[in-house]
A and B are shown apart, each in its own frame.
Chain A
Amino acid sequence: NAGVMQNPRHLVRRRGQEARLRCSPMKGHSHVYWYRQLPEEGLKFMVYLQKENIIDESGMPKERFSAEFPKEGPSILRIQQVVRGDSAAYFCASSPQRSQETQYFGPGTRLLVL
């Protein structure tokens, strides 16, 4: 049973470009969470999605950031017109049930904006 998969593992973008991060949850999991982690800091919640629905996006910046989890395919975190401050590690987690169930994390995507 494969774990949470994320790709790419490393992504380099120039300012103004778009970054697209993908997350495939564990088999049987229908809940996906995205987190951002700056160096030497904890994880900051961004968004919680179920299939075709955004449940909670209170942690996501209002502009340039969007997320989706389509009926088929991986969850996508999209960052438009990236700036240097977007450089961070972005982790995806999944769980079979919401709320108090344990979240299983992927290996992360490290985004570097030049």
Chain B
Amino acid sequence: GESVGLHLPTLSVQEGDNSIINCAYSNSASAYFIWYKQESGKGPQFIIDIRSNMDKRQGQRVTVLLNKTVKHLSLQIAATQPGDSAVYFCAENYDGGFKTIFGAGTRLFVKA
């Protein structure tokens, strides 16, 4: 069945280092992928998205890479800061579908 999963439930990085959060998806028909950040007690916040016709997209300090061959998605955060500590969810949306399917999330800890 379709699912979005994450490789690592917890990631701990040193402040200033780069973070890489990985995600696997199973539906090759998925056309749109999103990364959300959820801080404790808050709703998910959009970070960056990418469509299936792209391999890479950059934002401010964040980069999303999409490898359709192995159905893998990653979020790279440059110069990680304490404020980046949160749970990060990848999500996929099927072309023409109305639902966004979320993975279980990766908790990012940033050590000062």
Binding site for B on A (CB under 8 A): 4, 33, 35, 40-45, 48, 55-56, 58-59, 91, 93, 98-100, 102-108
User: Please, which residues of chain B bring their CB within 8 A of the CB of A98?
Assistant: 98
Task: Give chain A residues whose Cβ lies under 8 Å from the Cβ of B32.
Answer: 100
Task: Give chain B's interface residue range (CB within 8 Å of chain A).
Answer: 20 to 34
Please measure, in the bound complex, the distance between the C-alpha atom of A25 and the C-alpha atom of B93, giving whole angstroms: 20
Contacts between the two chains (Cβ within 8 Å), count: 55
Distance of A35 Cα from B101 Cα, bound (Å)? 10
Contacts A42-B103, A91-B44, A105-B43 given; does A55 touch B98 at CB 8 Å: yes
- B42 to A, closest residue via Cβ: A107
Q: Answer whether residue B14 sits at the interface, using C-beta atoms and an 8 A cutoff.
A: no
Give B contacts to A, CB under 8 Å.
Answer: 4, 31-32, 34, 36, 41-46, 49, 51, 89, 93, 95-105
16 contacts between A and B (CB under 8 A): A4-B43, A35-B102, A42-B4, A42-B102, A43-B44, A44-B102, A45-B99, A55-B98, A58-B99, A99-B98, A100-B32, A100-B93, A104-B46, A105-B36, A105-B43, A107-B41
Leading 6 A-B pairs by shortest Cβ distance: A105-B43, A42-B102, A43-B102, A100-B32, A45-B99, A48-B98
CB distance from B21 to the nearest CB of A (A): 14
Q: Is the CB of A108 within 8 A of B99?
A: no
Q: Which residues of B contact A99 (CB under 8 A)?
A: 93, 96-98
A61 → B minimal CB distance (Å): 16
Q: Which residues on the B side are within 8 Å of A107 (C-beta)?
A: 41-43
Q: Min CB distance, A29 to chain B, in Å?
A: 14
| Interface contact A45-B101, CB-CB below 8 Å | yes
Query: Which residues of the other chain, A, contact B100 by a CB distance below 8 angstroms?
Result: 33, 45, 103
